[in-house]
Chains A and B, each alone.
Chain A
Amino acid sequence: MPYIYNIIKADYLQRTRSYSFLITLAITVYAAYSFVPPDTANYTTLSASGYRGVYNSAWVGYVFAIMTTVMLSFCGFLLVNSGIKKDIDTEVGLIIATTPISNFKYLLCKQLSNYLVLITIAGCTFSVSLVLFFIRGEGHPFIISDFILPYLFFAVPALFMVAALAVVAEVFLGKRSILQYIIYFFLFGIAMSAITQSGKNTTGAFDPFGLSLVTKSITAQINTQFHESVKNVSFGFIFNGHRKYKPFVWAGISWSAVFVFSRVLWMAFGLGLVYCASLFFHRFDFKQASAKKKTKPAKQPTEANKLTINPAGITREAMPPLVFNYGISPFIKTELLLLVRQGNKWLWLLNAGLWVAMFIAPLTIAYSYLLPILLFLQVTRWSDLVTKEKNNRVHYFAYASYKPLLRMLPAQILAGVTLALALALPVIMRNALLLNGAAILNIINGCVLIVLLAATLGILSGGKKLFEVVFFMLTYAVINKLDITDYLGSMPHSSVYLVVVLSINTALLGAGFMVRNYQVKHL
């Protein structure tokens, strides 16, 4: 199997030797640093009805493993679900298709390289956990197994499954990335609900993340030690102001053989899914794949057997007088056209349905849930906004054009904002009827924020993934009513809120322009 190793290695290096991966690691380290907050912080990451464990090895190690498992399972899918697409875009797939490698081995290589990418990120959080134990240390002894085992039994199998699902999604849903995200969103929700479900699943075997063992152990200890009836443990970034938590000593869980075996079974299930997907893999033969779906023959180019370039046809004398127009309105028009045509047409049906629903549904539902969902459904449009030149190799024209920074980038941002506001129109109109000017301002600000976030992260990273992951997490947080992430202002906020969002927008705009200014001169 040495050639499989070489394929995985090459694929892994190709993905990780990029500026955007470096940014991802930097964000990971930053986020991981916040997994175990200091006492003065206004949030916590794992608590049970006002109780929080002392920062011993078990608590720090498990919190890191849980947060890594949940957060990375959530956004890791988006990070790695383009391995096959890359081979299609670069046309390396055509070369692969002619080699003797079987479909299963190819997909297995993709899954394992996905997995390595995720494990690399998990490795980063693991390193931070060790450092943070000593920074936040409360004098408890350092027990290395409390750090290693939860990563080994929670993060390692869960990320293996995520890597497998990313491959399966690419095989069956191909370029329909929005549909992939929606389905994964629901699968993730189901997996999360399995953590909190009590009942017969005492071994945690049927819980994909395996985290129910931890929640049960913590609640059992609190209930026994403090005579409480706590049922659930909350994890994630929980903002509760500067709430004082009651500390307790938690020493971790004991690992049963059944649980360990169940993790192996989950990994085997992931492999099985990849094998099933390999039976349906297109092997880069899209004509055959599309022929199965369409009965109508594809339209052939009409260039055959006719004159090609007609030099006599292009003479300066024949051309109408040259009229210069350095305005940006033609740009905006085409940028809007590109935004609208990006992605699958069927998505517009869903967009239209949600758009109409925002007129009919109660305003709070429309504002708090439907609008963020509708905006998220356009994630590939936003992420394409300023990255499409490079992805389509049109940047040579774009950067050599007249004042690209002052004409093209503003046009792209304006087109994005126009589309966002058009999508938000029902909620804007309903707030206008209620004379709620603050809400309208918040929505406009929020729409601008998303477009600027897409533009700036796209310019900084040179790719789409970073924004897509950030927006995915942002939307999840908004729907779960995490008020700090409420970019559309649907929850009650102080008057400072508008200024904060405006400041973020200004900073994003400035950063985007500065970096693009450098890029247009340094191809």
Chain B
Amino acid sequence: MALSITNLSKQYNHQKTALSSFTININKGILGLLGPNGAGKSTLMKLIATISKPTTGTLLLDGTDIVQHPDAIRKVLGYLPQDFGVYPNLNAYEFLEYIAAMKGVGGKGLRKRIDILLEGVNLTADAKRPIGTYSGGMKQRIGIAQALLNDPKVLIFDEPTVGLDPEERMRFRQLIADLAQDCVIILSSHIVSDIETIADEVAIMQGGKLITKGYQQDIIKQADGRIFETFLDNAALTEFKGRYKVIDTARQNDRIKTRYISTQAAAAPSSAPIKATLEDAYLFLTQNNA
């Protein structure tokens, strides 16, 4: 299963272009989408989920145009939107049965399927309570369960770790790593560490355009030799921030350890080059393309 996206554009009005000539091929495995707010991540996910139509461009799933034939992907799609809701008067069983009806999943095994999913997201004990009484994390887990109801071959998770506590986040990562073996998984997050620990490939977006896509180590390489560390005093830091993109600061005794990006080849005096991380590379690339 593979998604092929070519010259995809989405224009909401004359002023706002959410996606511009976006081209990417997505194969089995986990693709992490990174980008600042307004980069077009959610728009791209909505277009793939066929709930929005592109202004121009093509979206092919194994060669089938899903703009023209949205049901081709809908049969195999699991989608967790960023800002989804639930019917508060239904309990978890009833809600998942409803979503199953939407996805066209039925038969005698449906109840067992729901049981397994509820067990997997640890909601069995609360499954008969109205979802309106659930906490934010529990609602997010019911969202994850609904996405998996139809054994999806394409899974889209838009900011899936929002509302999950650190332990839930770790378990979620394990869960989708297991599922990724025969699935296309597209995952967006503001939390670079989530993407770093889970994604096979990373795509960085900005202003509706694709800046880069590749394996993490290849992306990190693009920032090699650009990340430095230096020690500054308080007074110098403000002036320093005007010249360099400061990534992180930490106080050490009376000095401030400052991690920064140098877009020029030459770094500030008394600086030492350090090994870049995905977050460094992300910040370097988005700043360079701003």
A310→B122 contact, CB < 8 A: yes
- Tell me the smallest distance from the CB of A298 to a CB of chain B, in Å: 9
> How many angstroms between the C-alpha atoms of A319 and B121 in the bound complex?
14
List the 6 closest pairs (A to B, CB-CB), nearest first.
A323-B107, A325-B106, A320-B109, A393-B85, A314-B120, A401-B102
B119→A322 contact, CB < 8 A: no
- Tell me the smallest distance from the CB of B46 to a CB of chain A, in Å: 6
A318→B116 contact, CB < 8 A: yes
Given A302-B126, A400-B79, do A310 and B105 touch, yes or no (CB 8 Å)? no
Given A323-B110, A403-B71, A521-B51, do A314 and B117 touch, yes or no (CB 8 Å)? yes
A residues at B contact (CB < 8 Å): 299, 301-303, 306-311, 313-316, 318-328, 330-331, 334, 337-338, 341-342, 388, 392-394, 396-404, 407-408, 520-523
Contacts of A321 in B (CB 8 A): 107, 109
> How many angstroms between the C-alpha atoms of A311 and B173 in the bound complex?
9
Contacts of A404 in B (CB 8 A): 102
Given A311-B171, A330-B100, A330-B106, do A392 and B88 touch, yes or no (CB 8 Å)? yes
Closest to B126 in A: A302
Residue of B46, B87, B177 with most chain A CB atoms under a 10 A cut-off:
B87
Contacts of B37 in A (CB 8 A): none
B residues at A contact (CB < 8 Å): 46, 49-53, 70-71, 74-75, 77, 79, 81, 83-90, 94, 97-110, 112-113, 116-117, 119-122, 125-126, 129, 133-135, 137-138, 141, 144, 146, 148, 150-151, 164-165, 167-168, 171-172, 174-175, 177-179, 182
16 contacts between A and B (CB under 8 A): A299-B133, A303-B125, A310-B122, A314-B179, A319-B113, A323-B105, A323-B107, A325-B104, A331-B102, A396-B84, A400-B49, A401-B99, A402-B71, A402-B74, A521-B53, A521-B70
Contacts of A393 in B (CB 8 A): 83-85
B135→A301 contact, CB < 8 A: yes
B171→A337 contact, CB < 8 A: no
A324→B87 contact, CB < 8 A: no
> How many angstroms between the C-alpha atoms of A322 and B167 in the bound complex?
31
B112→A309 contact, CB < 8 A: no
Closest to B176 in A: A311
- Tell me the smallest distance from the CB of B279 to a CB of chain A, in Å: 25
B102→A301 contact, CB < 8 A: no
B126→A301 contact, CB < 8 A: yes
A399→B138 contact, CB < 8 A: no
Contacts of A392 in B (CB 8 A): 85-88
A394→B86 contact, CB < 8 A: yes
| A324 in complex: contacting residue of B106, B135, B174, CB < 8 Å | B106
B51→A310 contact, CB < 8 A: no
A396→B74 contact, CB < 8 A: no
A308→B102 contact, CB < 8 A: no
Contacts of A302 in B (CB 8 A): 125-126
Closest to B89 in A: A341
Contacts of B53 in A (CB 8 A): 521-522
